[in-house]
Structure 1
Amino acid sequence: MKKLKLLHRHILALENKEDVDLTAMLWQLICYSPKMPPRLQQQQLLDEAEKFTLPVDDPHFAKSVLNFNGFIWGDGSKKVLITHGWGSKAIDFDEVITGLKAIDDIQIIAFDAPGNGSSEGELSNLILFAKAAEATISRYGAPDVMIGHSLGAMANVIAINETNIKPALQISIAPLIKLKENFKATMNAAEVPVSAQENFFESFRELFELDASYFDINSKHITGALKHWLAFDREDRVSPYIYLQEFLSVNPETITHEYFELGHERIIKDAGVVGDIVGLVKAV
């Protein structure tokens, strides 16, 4: 987190930004995911888990195969896969995992996406998140329930579409909807000039051979899950409600639950949200 804050402050303080090539710094600002060590209670929960490591190819940043780490609690027949959000890690779902462990006949699988948590990688992106989810599904089988927060919810949509699985329940918590708009918000917060933003997006197109606007869940969402439940806070500043409204107009079958004064990060920690998730999974 310190590295990202310093970079943000450095870009913010730059003079004559229009005359400076900011592209290299913006790649770091956008795609470096802060890595926070687990707290003691989280580490104790990790110590209980069965560990695994799987490879994914990163042709864009590392230009090599990266190993990512995963964790399994239980060996029941009801399989739950959890995909964390940006700047996060599997064990940040500790309250949810602890609640789910109390359900009979359950297996909980979570992973640190490449470039996040304990996994390999300096920079990360949505494609790597989705690839990690797909690799986990390929190794351990189709989950009955998929849970994703923020960017992890976007990754789950892609993974469901790419693997053609049909989970009984898909849970999306404060999902990001439009990735390009999220990038713009990050750059605007650092007062990056429009010209420099355009240069970054051109660099993005050259690297990924796609425009950043391609990563819009409104155009990617295919109803693969039998039931899709979505939790949100309309005051969420990271995933603006206006984009969620558009998503729900395209996907009216999605079941929504609004929470209040939780924001983007705390929503996965709230006791009410955790209780609702546990109840939903128990009913599958």
Structure 2
Amino acid sequence: MKKIKEIFTRVKELQHGDNEDVTDLIWQLICYSPKFPLRLQQQQLIDEAAPFTLEVDDPHFSQSILKFNGFIWGNGNRKVLITHGWSSKGADFIDLITALRTIDNLQIIAFDAPGNGSSEGELSNLILFAKSTEAVIKTYGAPDVMIGHSLGVMANIIAIQQTGIKPSLLISITPMVKLRENFITTMNSADVPKAAQDRFFERFNEIFNVPTSYFNLADMYQDEIAVKHWLAYDQEDKMAPFPYTQELLNRHPIIGFKEYPDATHERIIKDPRLIEDVLELIRNQIN
């Protein structure tokens, strides 16, 4: 957290300057993901897993091949793949993974996306999240169940589209629906001037060859992406505003959903109500 606070402070200090330093700092503000150490129980969970390391190409930031770490629990015939959100890691799903391990015949796979957790990378982005998800799918096979949280929801959907798989159950928890609006909120919190924000979006388009507005789940989503899709949200979520989620649900009524009041964006993956419902959904779908 210390580094992101330093970046935030420097952006505020340089916000009135018309120079490249501001643009470079904005990229760090948007794309630096703080890494938090494992707690004791999380480390014990990781110690019980079969570890693996895969690689993804990062042509945009490091211009290199990045290694990312993953973890497998169980050797059942039914696969569950978990994709974490921004500034998170696979072990943050400790409560859900522990509960999933009580279900027979499951193989549970989680990973740390590049720039997050134990994996390589200084800066990260949605494309690296999606590429990592694709790499896991191509290495270990199509999962029966895919679970994503926050940015991990969008990464899962991109990976499904890129690999052509069709999971039996797709579970989306407090999804990041509009990437551009999330970036704007982050920049506004650091008082980044409109002109500097515009330069950032122009540069994003040049680097990734697509505008940030493309990454809108309501537009990207295809109704036949999974046999069943279920979404969990908290209407008071400050990180993933409910009006965006509501737009996604209104435009794609095939998606089932449930609200978890007071769960919050970060803690919802630990919420006992959610975990109980996820276990029931998985048992009903794979049995």
> Is the pair's TM-score, using the shorter chain for normalization, greater than 0.5?
yes
- Larger CA deviation: 271-280 vs 95-104: 271-280
The residue number in structure 2 matching 1:179 is 179
Amino acid at match of 2:16: K
Partner SS, residue 148 of structure 1:
strand
Amino acid at match of 1:252: P
Amino acid at match of 1:36: F
Q: Give the Cα separation in 2 of the matches to 1:251 and 1:15.
A: 43
Q: Give the Cα separation in 2 of the matches to 1:88 and 1:142.
A: 23
Q: Give the Cα separation in 2 of the matches to 1:85 and 1:2.
A: 20
Cα offset for 1:16?
Answer: 5.9
Gaps of 5+ in 2: none
Pair 20,186 (structure 1): closer, same or farther in 2 beyond 3 Å: same
Q: Deviations over 1:51-80 (max 9, x none)?
A: 001111111011111111100000001110
8 Å Cα contact 1:18/1:195 also seen in 2? no
Q: Deviations over 1:159-184 (max 9, x none)?
A: 11111111110000000001000000
Partner SS, residue 244 of structure 1:
helix
Q: Give the Cα separation in 1 of the matches to 2:34 and 2:213.
A: 24
Q: Counterparts of 1:261-272 in structure 2 under 5 Å?
A: 261-272=262-273
Partner SS, residue 283 of structure 1:
helix
Q: Give the Cα separation in 2 of the matches to 1:261 and 1:41.
A: 25
- The answer as to 2:115 corresponding to 1:115 is yes
TM superposition score normalised by structure 1: 0.97
The residue number in structure 2 matching 1:259 is 260
Gaps of 5+ in 1: none
Q: Give the Cα separation in 1 of the matches to 2:53 and 2:220.
A: 28
The residue number in structure 2 matching 1:234 is 235
8 Å Cα contact 1:79/1:143 also seen in 2? yes
The residue number in structure 1 matching 2:275 is 274
Q: Give the Cα separation in 2 of the matches to 1:150 and 1:16.
A: 29
Q: Deviations over 1:5-56 (max 9, x none)?
A: 22112323x2661534411000000000110011000000000000001111
Q: Give the Cα separation in 1 of the matches to 2:195 and 2:218.
A: 27
Tell me the C-alpha RMSD between the 2 structures. 1.1
| Percentage of identical aligned residues | 59
Q: Deviations over 1:225-284 (max 9, x none)?
A: 100000000111111111111111221110000011121101111111111111111222
Partner SS, residue 183 of structure 1:
helix
- Larger CA deviation: 89-98 vs 3-12: 3-12
TM superposition score normalised by structure 2: 0.96
Amino acid at match of 2:281: L
Q: Give the Cα separation in 1 of the matches to 2:179 and 2:17.
A: 24
- The structure 1 segments of at least 4 consecutive aligned residues displaced by more than 3 Å after TM superposition are 18-21
The residue number in structure 1 matching 2:199 is 199
Aligned residue pairs, count: 283
Q: Give the Cα separation in 1 of the matches to 2:225 and 2:254.
A: 12
Amino acid at match of 1:197: Q
The residue number in structure 2 matching 1:8 is 8
Q: Give the Cα separation in 2 of the matches to 1:57 and 1:274.
A: 34
The residue number in structure 1 matching 2:144 is 144
Q: Counterparts of 1:1-284 in structure 2 under 5 Å?
A: 1-12=1-12, 14=13, 17=16, 19-21=18-20, 22-222=22-222, 223-284=224-285
Q: Give the Cα separation in 2 of the matches to 1:98 and 1:16.
A: 45
